[in-house]
Structure 1
Amino acid sequence: MTRKRGKTGYLLVIPGALYLLAFFALPFYSLIATSLYDPSGSDFRGYEMTYAFGNFVDAITDYWQPLLRSLAYGGVATVLCLVLGYVLAYAIAFKAGRWKILMLVLVIAPFFTSFLVRTLSWKLLLADDGFIVNTLQFLQILGDDGRLLATPVAVIAGLTYNFLPFMVLPLFASLDRVDYRLIEASGDLYANPITTFFKVTWPLSLPGVVSGTLLTFIPAVGDYINAELLGNTNTRMIGNVIQSLFTDANDYPAAAALSVILMTMILALVLVYVRRAGTEELL
């Protein structure tokens, strides 16, 4: 009986393992191989495997600015999502009452609309003759010729909006498990609301904070739609460069090298972050 159960477990793993092999391992191997092709090839069939590790050096030398810009934009958007998402998740978990389910539905409602349509809506909102710009100009926050569209502000705003649900849902899952009696008990022990938050609520919600920041930062850094539609040539992110190298310039080795560099950098940052956050202890 024990043997049959053991074999059943392995059999259940096979479909998932085959899926990962077909759609992750093999494409990743192909990507690494492409990054080592001779960059002087005229087209994809003309490339030869020469183990040209210099492709990585050239990619960093030529495109270090959009690479750092992507990390900066993704980091700022993640921080904004954490601040906005924590407030929203806290309100849903502790204050929504019987409206909790409805508010959660409203959080995930944007997912029923295309990512492209949601980003294009920000293009309309931040237009030079739009309500937001006119209001900021009226309040003297923007000059008469000031604008928001085609600026870093627009790109970060789009990233924050599009990836906010990825932050809210893990935070809500953590906060919803917090026993509210612990918060009330800290008040009974004469702790003020700020002390209660940092000593009770925040530590208990850290698993959601770690999960939410990872789920937000990773796709935000690699995104290219927001920078393409809401930015300009000076706000191009690394995703835009990779897309252009693959589809316009047909420079497959450089595009693949940049992709591998981006994945490696994100993996290294995630490992350092998870290690510093003490995820094993949190979980």
Structure 2
Amino acid sequence: MARRRAPRWLSANLLLLPTGLWLALFLLVPLALVVQYSFATRDTGPLRVVLPWTAQAYRTALDPAFLPIFGRTLAYAALTTAACLLLGFPLAWFIARHGGRHRNALLAAVLVPFWASYLARIYAWKALLDGDGLVNRLLGLVGLGRDGGFLLTDGAVVLGLTYGFLPFMVLPLYVACERFDHRLVEASYDLGHGRVSTFFRVVLPGVRPGVLAGSLLVLVPAAGDFVTPRLLGGVDQSTFGSVIDDQFRGGNNWPLGSAMAVLLMALVVVVLVVRGRRGEDVL
């Protein structure tokens, strides 16, 4: 008598069960706690059920006083994404088109920074950008030095974010450039198009999924990063992430920090939904 096999849908769901339990325990449960605390009062203790709920933390988080910080956060994230795209696209194109047998070694070189602690790397940039740092000394030789160095500036924050998240842009761009049919470039040249026209009419549309995937992979973590603005920036370079960190640590205001975190997550969800409705393919 033949053994009855389990339905395919049941087998697939059983395979996904460990992943589903992991996500539920370490993603959904903490997220639910954050949402709960966002409706709490400031004197609510850790891991207490919040009853009744209040929206006071959201009213505080949406106060116009926080709008400059929110705008600065979006500006840093947008500038970081643009800088990573401008730097990452030529690198990804070169590796995919001219890497040859050294392609794996070049990709490994892109990932080398991940072998060291992110915090240690940002501290290294802090030393480089200080008034006595190497960057300021070299620029001082040509009259471009700056009193006090380049720390505590908007440029230092964007530089640190770009350095930290550049590999997240390069990798999806590389995949898109590798899949791109390079014969289309030659066909464009044969049809009389120049390099600029070929790039915007042929290359860019062909690697568009990689551009969008890389932009999201950079934009989302850059908007929530708080380590880089805290170490390379100052009070005038505070971001939403650093303010959230302040509320959970020194400020001892978990509801306000939770409300800000929920608002930041909501912004990310809106970006993802808008992108999804445009019907773009994901690598």
Normalised by the length of structure 2, the TM-score is 0.91
Q: Which amino acid aligns with 1:16?
A: T
Residue aligning to 1:215: 217
List gaps (5 residues or longer) in structure 2.
Answer: none
Inter-partner Cα distance in structure 2 for 1:24 and 1:47: 19
Unaligned runs of 5+ in 1: none
Aligned to 1:13: 16
The aligned runs of 1:121-136 (5 Å cut-off) are 121-136=124-139
Aligned partners of 2:130 and 2:148 also within 8 Å: no
Q: CA deviation at 1:149?
A: 1.1
Paired residues of 2:37 and 2:50 also in contact (CA < 8 A): no
Q: Note closer, same or farther for the CA distance 1:42–1:186 as it changes in structure 2 (3 Å cut).
A: closer
Query: Which residue is 2:74 aligned to?
Result: 71
Pair 112,153 (structure 1): closer, same or farther in 2 beyond 3 Å: same
Name the counterpart of 2:169. Answer: 167
Whether the 8 Å CA contact 1:210–1:274 is kept in 2: the answer is no
Q: Over the residues paired in the alignment, what is the CA RMSD in angstroms?
A: 2.0
Q: Which amino acid counterpart does residue 264 of structure 2 have in structure 1? A: L
Using a 3 Å threshold, how does the CA distance of structure 1 residues 202 and 111 change in structure 2: closer, same or farther? same
What TM-score, normalized by structure 1, do the two folds share?
0.91
2:81, 2:162 within 8 Å by CA — same for their partners in 1?
A: yes
**Residue 279 (structure 1) aligns with:** 280
Question: Contact 2:44–2:50 at 8 Å: present in 1 too?
Answer: no
Deviation of 1:202 (Å): 0.8
Q: 1:111 offset after TM fit, Å?
A: 0.7
Give 3-state SS (helix, strand or coil) of 1:183's partner: helix
How far does the alpha carbon of each residue in 1:133-160 deviate from its partner, in whole angstroms, 9 at most, with x for none? 23333333445x2631111111110000
Moved more, 78-87 or 59-68: 59-68
Q: Structure 1 residue 204: deviation in Å?
A: 0.8
Q: Does 1:194 align with 2:196?
A: yes
1:155/1:230 contact within 8 Å kept: yes
Of all paired residues, the percent bearing the same amino acid is 36
Q: In the alignment, what sits opposite 2:53?
A: 51
Instruction: Tell me how far 1:206 sits from its aligned partner.
Output: 0.4
**1:260 pairs with 262, 265, 272, which one?**
262
Corresponding letter in the other structure for 1:122: W
Change in 2 beyond 3 A, CA 1:45/1:8? closer
Instruction: Look up the equivalent residue of 1:136 and give its one-letter code.
Output: L
Structure 2 CA distance for aligned equivalents of residues 47 and 252 of structure 1: 14
Q: Report the counterpart of residue 272 of structure 2 in structure 1.
A: 270
